[in-house]
Homo-oligomer: A and B are copies of this chain.
Amino acid sequence: MPRPAGPSGRIGRPPSTSRPQILEAARAILDRDGWEKLTVRRLAAELGVGATTLYHHVRDKDDLLVQLLEYYAERLPRPELPADPRERIVAAATVMHDSLAAWPQAVEVLTADDLLGESALWMVEAVVGGAIACGRTPDQAVELYRNVWYYTVGEILVRARAGRRAAEDRPRYRDTVFEGLDASRFPSLAAIGDRWPELTARDTYVRGLRAFVDGLLAQESR
């Protein structure tokens, strides 16, 4: 469906869709059906367009997801960050974590493009800046940020995958491994016993984050 556009100065077959339109349709699917339903073919159908057409406006699906993240990052409420630099780091990282936890697939994309778009850069800036304000060199500050990022990514991915597994009802290996546990070889684990699932289900992100940041800031300068 070529729009009625007059002579637009452009040459060649007029596009039947555009990047912004694609992103908008993707958002619609995302908000309406959830991120599991966001597939290339479904997105194309939503636009009334062939599936392969999308690849003329978007490099690949990862590219699309990165763009979408940028959009959602834009309308993320930007909280008042604490004045204390250490608390600023914790607050910014927590925002990262909470924003991404709802959409684990996005994290898998971000593990490739570790920086978000410009509208999410303030979180990175807050962490790196906070570290510098704590007396770290820029190099050390980046290292701190990366470590926090690793921890955050790992937490989200592990929890997401574990949740997906729990949804299917096949018995999980870890729920049975403790039964025949040799207490002489694994004394600590045997002491935990079947409380493992319960313990690993707890949400300890912020506490772990605090410990990590404390540990990183306590490192003597090299």
Per DSSP, chain A at the interface is helix
A27 to chain B, nearest CB (A): 20
- Interface size bracket, A side: 35 or more
Residues of A within 8 A of B (CB): 59, 66, 108, 111-115, 117-118, 121-122, 124-125, 128-129, 132, 138-139, 141-143, 146-147, 149-155, 157-158, 160-162, 164-165, 170, 172-174, 177, 185-189, 191-192, 196, 199-200, 202, 204, 207-208, 210-216, 218-219
* Contacts A112-B162, A128-B192, A172-B113; A149 near B142 (Cβ below 8 A): no
Closest chain B residue to A214, Cβ basis: B215
Bound-complex Cα distance A149 to B156 (A)? 12
Bound-state Cα–Cα, A202 to B142, Å: 11
Contact of A157 among B132, B153, B187, B208 (CB under 8 A): B153
